[in-house]
């Protein structure tokens, strides 16, 4: 052990065990998420205020439709003019960076969290996260899952239902499970 708190270990991308301090962060995010999801669709002003309180950054003109789910919220950063459709799940144990003009379809999952392969470490409740970066002008089709540690380059399109478990460069179309590049743009 390094003497760092479990929260600092989590934020530094190290193995950690969720403790009371991390639990408070989680409960804060769940309360804000519940309030956001309960708002009438027409109350965009309050939604934006609560999302700004929840998230690390919310760029100008970015629209996020509910329902949504975040682990912590403050680890997620949205650029400008992005759009997120219904059913977005963001397990933001590690930083999630979403660029400008990104289109995220329904039921997309960005999953930074992972668990050790070693069975005893898992039994002992150790976990960690690896950051996800989504470049500018990316389009993630419906039901896309982005795995821990993945970067998707600018202008890339990921087809519906794809599972992205490795980095994708800019300016490509990728589909499948696992996602594979099918052509350049």
CA distance 28 to 166: 31
Q: Please, which residues have CB within 8 angstroms of residue 126's CB and are 6 or more apart in sequence?
A: 15, 16, 17, 115, 116
Q: Where are the alpha helices (DSSP H) in 39-182?
A: 44-54, 119-123
Name the active-site residue from 115, 122, 125, 180: 115
8 catalytic per annotation: no
Q: Distance between alpha carbon 55 and the CA centroid of its chain, in Å?
A: 11
Contact 171, 153 (CB under 8 A): yes
**Residues belonging to the active site:** 115
């Amino acid at each position: 052990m390094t003497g760092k708190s479990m929260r600092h270990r989590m934020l530094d991308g190290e193995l950690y065990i969720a403790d009371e301090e991390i639990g408070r962060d989680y409960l804060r995010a769940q309360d804000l998420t519940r309030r956001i999801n309960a708002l009438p669709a027409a109350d965009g002003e309050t939604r934006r205020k609560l999302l700004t309180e929840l998230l690390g950054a919310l760029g100008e003109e970015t629209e996020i439709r509910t329902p949504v789910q975040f682990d912590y919220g403050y680890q997620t950063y949205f650029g400008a003019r992005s759009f997120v459709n219904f059913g977005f799940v963001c397990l933001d144990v590690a930083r999630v960076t979403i660029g400008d003009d990104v289109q995220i379809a329904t039921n997309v999952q960005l999953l930074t969290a992972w668990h050790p392969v070693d069975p005893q470490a898992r039994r002992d409740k150790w976990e960690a996260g690896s950051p996800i970066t989504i470049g500018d002008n990316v389009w993630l089709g419906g039901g896309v899952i982005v795995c821990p540690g993945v970067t998707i380059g600018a202008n890339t399109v990921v087809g519906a239902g794809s599972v992205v478990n490795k980095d994708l460069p800019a300016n490509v179309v990728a589909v499948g499970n696992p996602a594979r590049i099918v052509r350049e743009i």
